[in-house]
Structure 1
Amino acid sequence: MAPPLRKDTESNGTGTSGREHPGIRRRSLLAGAAAIGAVGALGAAGCSKVPTGDTLARLKSQGTVRLGIAGEAPYGFIDENGKFTGEAVELAKVIFKRLGVDSVQPVATDFSSLIPGLTTQQFDVVSAGMYINKERCQTVIFSDPEYQMLDSFIVRKGNPKNIHTYEDAFKAKAKIATGPAYAEIEYAIAAGYKRDEVAILQDPVAGMNAVESGRIDVFAGTALTSRNVVRKSSKAEATKPFATVIDGEKQIDGGGFTFRPTDTKLRDAFNVEIHKMKKSGELFRILKPFGFTKAEMTTLTAEELCK
């Protein structure tokens, strides 16, 4: 099984298939932080008790769904033109339109506030690169994942310490960092690091900057985010994607949309559309512009990942 995880809803998710078992991880790549904070504040203003009844019917009636995001590229972020976009935002637009809800209103907040915000009705649904895991499944329900993800490291150009796994990093006595509440913390600890030896940085951009300046040797994150962050760097690169192995089992993560436990009807309707898009190839066409490859596509289910 995966290493012991912190028992909170800000942990990260993972997927399993065959001999692959769960872990937890989360990504954080802030874009347009000031604008995101402002939008998040507006979204929080309407807090009220969790609604009862048919949420899908309510969303159809009001014509808008509030989508909780965390300001992370490539999942949900503000682009250089000040527009909300990302795979989660664009996918939500398509699916909710087909469910009879014409407008998607992104509401940005800190990642750790997403599940609390969902349960207190700041948002109707969350999609922020949130991974599906057993701990979260005790609090919320998930759609089947739209993607799966492997790990990768941000290292100095040329990878001078030859780091390709957490065990490599530990043996090389490399200074390692990752993001807040990332599962990579637990992966590093499983490889031999003490918790206080794993530096916590704001996001992968901060991680890349720390690697470039020599303050750390490696920043641990997901393959997709790592390769996107280093694209324009002349001093850093991303290592080849890999599945972390703990106790002989591969850790594969899967991310999906998040719903309140009372909203099974909405989640089930969403799943119907996700599966149609997987079958037709439309899902990959939407995710591809945001850096996803066919290797990130998955047939995993939320039920598998929740176990």
Structure 2
Amino acid sequence: MASPPENTSERAPKRSIRRRSLLLGTAVLGAAGALGAAGCSRVPTGDTLARLKSQRTVRLGIAGEAPYGYINDQGDFTGEAVELAKVIFKRLGIGSVQPVATDFSSLIPGLNAQQFDVVSAGMYINAERCKQVIFADPEYQMLDSFLVRKGNPKKLLSYQDVVRSKAKLATGAGYAEIDYAISAGIPEKEIVILQDPVAGLNAVESGRVDVFAGTALTGREVVKNSRKAEATEPFAPVVDGKKKVDGGGFAFRPTDSGLRDAFNVEIHKMKKSGELFRILKPFGFAESEMTTMTAEELCA
């Protein structure tokens, strides 16, 4: 998820997904996001961790996208990032998490505008984003995958295959896959930008596009109940002649290094004990998608 401007970077892919759920998540922003914006001038400066402990609540920016952060069929906020946040912030002395849903491309601007305290959307860590925020070390690593029609009639297994076959490619708003497609030689003006993987699946099933590019996890989760589409085998995008493996993690404001460092301490404990994988596994993650990469490596 190279390194695009934030409004054209990734996102990151997705389980029992319903457009109702995504719309509900966006609706939450109307209330919570507005409150965050209205309260910007009153947000205390200094030790953010101490402030959040005092408030007993942390606001999490999510993108309304399963399996990272979304509203389930029971109307509850969940997802790997949300559930991980609940565990880690409780251990940091913050008992309540308040997810705030927005479009993926609005997560970093919203974080820096103090509409929420942390971004927990499984966001890919890359150099361009590292100029705007600081990241905890990634909780997972990920390859790409395509959503295609059953049988993959155009034999699309890489971005280079899309160029060769002149297939019509779509991806999500703010996804890193935009840059991967451009790097492969697909003109930016020819890339179809859709709201989310559900819209991508619908576009592939209806034949409006030939392929929707997202993460491997996105692919295998979103097609589970589809009779018309399938996900390709995971692959590493090639950027500047090198294969790219991405990692996703929590993002913090640059002034909140103390909060990020405390978060990192806890996530490394969970990696070592295996607890991290136990939390992520129910959301479709494979053990091979756990990672020892660091944010510093991915930011380089």
| TM-score normalised by structure 1 residue count | 0.91
Matched AA of 2:36: G
Question: How many pairs does the alignment contain?
Answer: 291
Cα distance in structure 2, aligned partners of 1:31 and 1:240? 29
Q: Greater helix share, 1 or 2? A: 2
Cα distance in structure 1, aligned partners of 2:106 and 2:177? 20
Q: 1:151 deviation in Å? A: 0.4
Matched AA of 1:146: E
Cα distance in structure 1, aligned partners of 2:87 and 2:103? 25
Q: Percent identity?
A: 71
Comparing 143-152 with 178-187, which one deviates more in the overlay? 178-187
Task: Say which of 9, 12, 37 aligns to 1:27.
Answer: 12
Q: For residue 243 of structure 1, give the secondary structure of its aligned residue in structure 2.
A: coil
Cα contact 2:13–2:217 (8 A) shared by 1: no
Question: Is structure 2 residue 107 aligned with structure 1 residue 114?
Answer: yes
Cα distance in structure 2, aligned partners of 1:88 and 1:11? 22
Q: 1:28 deviation in Å? A: 5.3
Q: What's the counterpart of residue 37 of structure 1? A: 26
Task: Say which of 215, 221, 224 aligns to 2:217.
Answer: 224
C-alpha RMSD of matched pairs (Å): 1.5
Comparing 198-207 with 29-38, which one deviates more in the overlay? 29-38
Matched AA of 2:237: T
Question: Is structure 2 residue 2 aligned with structure 1 residue 9?
Answer: no
Q: What's the counterpart of residue 210 of structure 1? A: 203
Structure 2 residue runs of 5 or longer lacking an equivalent are: none
| TM-score normalised by structure 2 residue count | 0.93
Question: Is structure 2 residue 291 aligned with structure 1 residue 298?
Answer: yes
Q: For residue 257 of structure 1, give the secondary structure of its aligned residue in structure 2.
A: strand
Q: What's the counterpart of residue 16 of structure 1? A: none
Cα displacement string for residues 179-201 of structure 1 (whole angstroms, at most 9, x for unaligned residues): 11222222222222211221112
Q: What's the counterpart of residue 117 of structure 2? A: 124
Cα distance in structure 2, aligned partners of 1:34 and 1:182? 19
Q: For residue 154 of structure 1, give the secondary structure of its aligned residue in structure 2.
A: strand
Structure 1 residue runs of 5 or longer lacking an equivalent are: 13-24
Cα contact 1:67–1:105 (8 A) shared by 2: yes
Question: Is structure 2 residue 39 aligned with structure 1 residue 46?
Answer: no
Structure 1 segments of 4 or more deviating over 3 A?
28-31
Cα displacement string for residues 46-81 of structure 1 (whole angstroms, at most 9, x for unaligned residues): 321453111111111111111111101000000000
Cα distance in structure 2, aligned partners of 1:207 and 1:27? 13
Q: 1:258 deviation in Å? A: 0.8
Cα contact 2:8–2:173 (8 A) shared by 1: no
Task: Say which of 81, 84, 92 aligns to 1:88.
Answer: 81
Cα contact 2:7–2:173 (8 A) shared by 1: no
Cα contact 1:51–1:121 (8 A) shared by 2: no
Q: What's the counterpart of residue 20 of structure 1? A: none
Cα contact 2:36–2:116 (8 A) shared by 1: no
Comparing 184-193 with 226-235, which one deviates more in the overlay? 184-193
Matched AA of 1:38: A
Task: Say which of 127, 131, 134 aligns to 1:141.
Answer: 134
